[in-house]
Structure 1
Amino acid sequence: MPLLEVSDLLVAHDPATLARVPVVRADAERRLAAAGDSRGVRLLRSVPVRDGGILDEAAVDARLIAVHTELQRLSQELRIGDRLAELLRPLIAAVRAGHPLPDGRIRVVDVGCGLGFLVRWLAAHDILGDDVDLIGVDLHAALVHEAQRLADAEGLRCRFVHADAFRLDVPATVFVSTGLLHHFRGPDLPAFFAAQAGPDTAAFCHYDIATTALSPIGAWMFHRARMRDPLGRHDGVMSARRAHDDATLLTAASAAAPLVPLVFEPRERSNPFCTTLRPVLGVRPGLVEPFRAGLGRAARRLAGAR
């Protein structure tokens, strides 16, 4: 049976216009029931509806903002900003030296940015350079508006856009994400990577949950201890159960040819008690060696497809 996250069922968009479309709660309940997720059904029934049994959009937005606010704490505790910066600094240096930049700007685009913690962290620490534009993109307008509000309140040099990350007015140089890959199933996963293979893309770096025997129980313990909302607790465990293994990610990432797929801290080289998230990367062939050189000793933690 498919594993589902309740939050994925709360909001729907027209794929062509990105306009929000109504979600009938009974339809979402049936999907969860078919997956054998009775707890998910109970959680869904706690979300208010309006006429016609349609999920109340304002209530949904408030709930998701609350859950994503709690998720920020997890990102802070797991040091996601520091860990991404460890890879982005040598990657950006390689891009500057060896990738054509028509307007001289490097654009780092966070796909599915949510409340934009990653982009805001990078902007607050100002570690990538003045020639780097930080852009967060999400299909959920309420999350984007809240992310921009937070960035404005903090006076940060970054911006957030309600859009399709692969159809921006200005192309991305480097795509990043956190906790996004496990949402793509079947052919949608290689299609996600293939969309990043355009000539302007120098690299991507997508962090997601590492698949170990301890991942689901670790997610349960961590979310139980750190998240108050039952929706976040439920979906956090489901995320761990849905995570893709290294081989699946590397195979899917090969759809972004000619970018070279790599995984950092692969399962066989990582400590299952310590590794919570690890990234899959794609790097232009001419940038791979400069990137490795910039990583120094940490380059030993990179692996490619066999």
Structure 2
Amino acid sequence: MRRRTPLPDSLVGRAFSIEEAREAGVSPARLSGNDLSTPHRGVRAPAGERTHGQRREDYTVRIVNGEYFSHITAAELFGVPLPAELLAGPVHVSMFRPQRARQVRGVIHHELEPRGQLAGHVSGVPVLHPAFVWVQLAGLLSLDDLIIAGDFLVTGSEPFDERPPLTTIDELRSAVAQAPGSRGIRAARAALEEIRYGCLSPQETRLRLLIERAGLPAPELNHRIYDERGSLVAMLDGAFPEHFVGYEYMGDHHRTKKSTYRNDMLRRARVEDLGWSQLDISSDDLELRPLETLARIARRLHSAGATLRPIEYGVDARKRRR
């Protein structure tokens, strides 16, 4: 069996144009090897299943001036939490009229009316501004997934590392105002009412929404607890400081990683030593027994002296508050 000629190191593991390959000395025969695929005309990429991000990279090789990644593809580039089924779909690219969209296999092109939308580059990749991308997502996501995306965009990782988020709630509002009549605009307006700075994961957002829609007090997010010496003891996912009640959403990594589990136990002990009551909430608590979870939170608050109205739960309660 004849040994395959290795590709130059500069081309290994990524998409590249035929012109780039020829300049690097790759023969036409090598470009036909079964270890390479042809995602687009004039482009080669590693063969096999490609993630959405990799398919975006494939198209980046042949993107033209005036095209910007948008919709799901831009959101994936920003790191927005998205349903897996959407990431299995085509790459999305937008351009502004009067430019005309091209027809390219595996890519959905959108022609946009210029309405002051902002665009730029992320790591050298042309992309629409996150606020305008969020408005585009309104036509593709459920209400709660749209709120999760909004929470991510206006929060990022700033509560942990002080890195500024990708956009602000005011910028989301401005983007909505510039897109009257666009697909999903009513969902975008509804989501704006429930987006908040502070949630650091999709499940934290879902838990916050469960609490707030039930009519319980809105939790303070990422509440920091200090000891008598002023040292940080914990940053709780959500808290009701006036009643010394807080909660932590416990993802599976809290259980499967031994050091994390032990640190969680120590932190909880220190929090409770300072007079706090901490609830640990799992995905099952959130997804399988939400009413029981709400009742647990309500009991802790009531025991701490909070005056609560009856808990509401479900779509009807959410609509009434709108």
For the superposition of Structure 1 and Structure 2, which TM-score range results when normalised by the shorter chain? under 0.3
Structure whose alpha-carbon radius of gyration is higher: 2
Which structure exhibits the higher relative contact order, with contacts defined as CA atoms closer than 8 Å and separated by 6 or more residues? Answer: 1
- Report which of the two has the higher share of helix: 1
What TM-score results when the alignment is normalised by the length of structure 2? 0.26
TM-score, structure 1 length as denominator? 0.27
